[in-house]
Each structure stands twice: as structure tokens, then as C-alpha cells.
Amino acid sequence: MSQLEQRPNAIGQSAAPAQVLLVGPSAVRSSASYCLLALLRWANREVSTPPRAVVLASGPLQEQFRHAGARVLGEPFSAVHQVERVVGRLASLRAAGRIRRERQRAALLRPPRPSCVYASTVHAAGPVVRFLGGKVPIVVHAYETAAVLDELVASETMAKLVAATSRWVAASTQIEAALVERGVPAERIVRCAPFIDEPVSEPGAVARARASLGLRPGEVVVGGVGRSTWEDAPEVFLRVASVVRRRAPELAVRFVWVGAPADGPSRWILDHDVRRGGLGDVVTFVDGVDDVAPWLSVFDLLCLTSRLDPPPPAVIEAGALATPALAFQQGDLAELATEVADHRALRPITYLDVDAMAQAVIEAAGDREGRVIGGQRFRDIVQAGRLSTTAAPPLWNVLADAAGHREQWSGDTVGGDPSPRR
């Protein structure tokens, strides 16, 4: 296995296949989706032959993908999607599956034939291998942890993916180990941590967001970001708020969760817990937000309770905006924390240890200078290796090596060396 290496100030020679096909599983908000979107946007700017992109299912990021030139399958108002929904409601799941597979087949086999296909997750690799396996080189970027692979990918399916895939990209060393355990040769794996486009936080938007909270003087804003789902775990965020309130009632702190829609299927549960827990004066829900960057700038501290994403893209985005963060330790988060090497910037918390998370909030809320220093350190690390300007070129080189084609790409972005370390 090799880490995708950075060559500071090495400009110009970036590998670029003649025609790359980028494939994502869906347009949901996840590390894989944000990384795919950032890679697509970077390639559109920097590569002489921009890639073609297909996203296999719709989601909240579908408009951003479409604006970047991707084809998003199953958009809610498309005729094919409506037919699929009707067929599914008629309980003909097998027929609905056939419609979905035919839609995927048509999109993936659309001319011209690519010289390389990049599946942005193991989940996305299934249709890619089904329709393009053995025809073109395939690169699979694995974000799925061992637990997720065990739950979602049958051993026979994994064996087919291993046989058909030219190169694997692991989002963390833990995921790399999971791939090796499932039969992927270590020499066919490189490691590329999740990256994003640099967020833009417009001062006016930040001021409006902050004013909407009606904060008391000196109140520290502890923020959470995500949907009202089990994966993003807003109920755990409320438990943290409850423990902080009980342990440090004198602490001036406001807990703000951004992204739980008022009409969402589980929002009423969160509202119920806030009322019954007596948290109405310290917890605020914000919905209808398309751009979380201004809110991340409002937060004095990001408190991420996500159960699955390794790490949530909001953690990297917070770092880019110099907002320190706490998050449960899983996937790539421990590696990112090691890079940052300052708990005032990014502190990993034992998974679902609410007491430890609450204590970390109390300590950070009382240390304004530490938050400022930590935020600056976090920003430096993210800008050095977790933004598309620095992280996309080495990943693109992996696709080029798989396709056996190289060309010049424009711009003055740092290049990378995809060759294994010896």
C-alpha cells in the first residue's frame, strides 16, 4: 500500500486519462459525495479532457452535481423515476429493480467508452463491475468501514469486485486493513483521505446567521450538523447538551443543530426530547439551510455525533474555516487528529461516550484562547492536504496510471506521486 504523496511545488505533470468516467452511488451528503464533487469540479477546471460523471441516485446534492456536469439518475421529476416509483408501489420490486438496472446500464455504457472508471464507493462499484467489468480498468474508492462492508456487501460480491478492480483507494488505514482482510492485495491499494472544495463563508451571511440566534452576551455556540437520522445522531447531540447543562449549569452555552427540517419524519421526536429534557433555552434547531459554511463560522465549537461517516465532511469544512471540532473516533478521524496533533483543534472522542463528549465541550467552552489557537492549527492542516487543490491531483494520477494514459493538466496546483513506497 502507498500513501498518495504530495510533491510541494511540483507543477505541471499530472496524469489524466483520455476519458474518465466518475461514478457515485447517490447525491446524499456524505464524505464520498463531497469528495467526488470536489474531484469533478477540479477536473473540469484543470484537465484538458474533463471527465464524464454519473450519480446513480438522487439526493440533496443533486443540483450541485448537475451544475458540475454530472448526470444524476432517479431525479424526482424524471419520467423514468416516476415509472419506477409506480412499479415499486404496485409491489413489483423485481420489475422496479430491472428498470433501475436498465437505467444504470444505459448511463454507464453511453459512448464514448471510458479509458478508466472511478467508483467513488464500494457500493457504487457493483453496477460498474456488472456492466463494465473486464472491459475497462476500474478504480474503487472505499469509504465503507469493516462493519458496513460486512452488512452491505456479500462475500461473493466482494470477491467479484476484487477480481474486476484494477486499483483500490482506501479512505483510511482502517479501511485499508478491512480491504486486505477481504482479499484485496495490499500492493493494489493506495490511501487517499477524504477532501472537499474550500468552503466560502460570506461575512454578511455569517452575521445574519448569528443574529438569528438571539445570543446572550458571552454565550458560546456549540454546533452540530446533519439530518435528523440515526446516522447523524442528533439525539446524541441532545444527550450531550443535557449532560453539559447538568454538570455546568453556570456555563453560557447554546447548542445549535443545523439541518433537521421542521417537517422531517423524526423532528417531532427531537422537539419532544427538548421539551421533556428542559433544554428549550439552550438548544436551537435550524432548518432550510443549503450552505452550512456560514453556520460553521458562527460555531465556536463543532460537536459532531455522526455514527457512520469517516469522518463527516463537516469536520473538514470546519477545519478549513478555523472552527475547532469534537467528533467520535472512527475511520479516518483518528488519522486526521494525529495530523492536527492538538486537541484544542480536533479532539476524537471514544465512540458514543456522551460523558466524555460533554466534558470536552465544557473544557473547550471555558478556553477561548485555546479555541482560537486550535482553530488556526486545524485550518493550516486542512489547507495543506484536505482541499481539492492539493488532494485531487494525486488521486487523478491513480486513475491515469490505471488507464495507462498521461497528459498535461493546466493550472498551478500541486502534483502527486501515486507510485508505491518501497
Domains of the chain from N-terminus onward: 2-197+387-417 (3.40.50), 203-384 (3.40.50.2000)
User: Taking the mean position of all CA atoms in its chain, how far away is CA 350?
Assistant: 20
Which residues, other chains included, contact 275 with Cβ-Cβ below 8 Å and sequence gap of 6+? none
What is residue 54's predicted lDDT score, i.e. its pLDDT?
97
What is residue 16's predicted lDDT score, i.e. its pLDDT?
43
In degrees rounded to 5, what are phi and psi of residue 176?
-55, -45
Class of residue 261 by CB neighbours under 10 A (exposed 0-12, middle 13-18, buried 19+): middle
What is residue 387's predicted lDDT score, i.e. its pLDDT?
96
Helix (H) or strand (E) holding 24: strand 20-24
Neighbours of 294 (CB within 10 A): 22
Distance CA 218, CA 215 (A): 8
Distance CA 367, CA 344 (A): 9
Which 3 state secondary structure label does DSSP give 46? helix
Neighbours of 89 (CB within 10 A): 9
User: Taking the mean position of all CA atoms in its chain, how far away is CA 272?
Assistant: 30
Q: Are 345 and 326 in contact (CB under 8 A)?
A: no
Distances (CA, A) of 113 to 17, 20, 25, 51, 131: 12, 9, 20, 12, 12
Written as tens digits, the pLDDT of the chain (422 aa) is 556 654 433 333 444 446 899 999 999 888 899 999 999 999 999 998 899 999 999 988 999 999 999 999 975 444 444 445 554 555 555 666 677 788 888 889 888 889 999 999 999 999 999 999 999 999 999 999 888 899 889 999 999 999 999 999 999 888 999 999 999 999 999 999 899 999 999 999 999 999 999 999 999 999 999 888 888 899 999 999 999 999 999 999 999 999 887 767 788 899 999 999 999 999 999 987 878 999 999 999 999 998 876 567 889 999 999 999 999 987 678 888 988 999 999 999 999 999 999 999 999 999 999 999 999 999 999 999 999 999 999 999 999 889 886 543 443 333 333 333 32
Strands, sheet with 71-72, edge to edge from the N-terminal-most edge strand: 2-3, 189-191, 167-170, 138-142, 116-119, 20-24, 52-55, 71-72
What is residue 415's predicted lDDT score, i.e. its pLDDT?
35
The H-assigned helical ranges of 277-350 are 293-298, 313-320, 333-340
Residue written as cell 494525486?
394
Distance CA 272, CA 65 (A): 36
What is residue 4's predicted lDDT score, i.e. its pLDDT?
63
What is residue 89's predicted lDDT score, i.e. its pLDDT?
52
Q: Are 336 and 313 in contact (CB under 8 A)?
A: no
Which 3 state secondary structure label does DSSP give 111? coil
Question: Which residues is 47 bridged to in the sheet?
Answer: 409
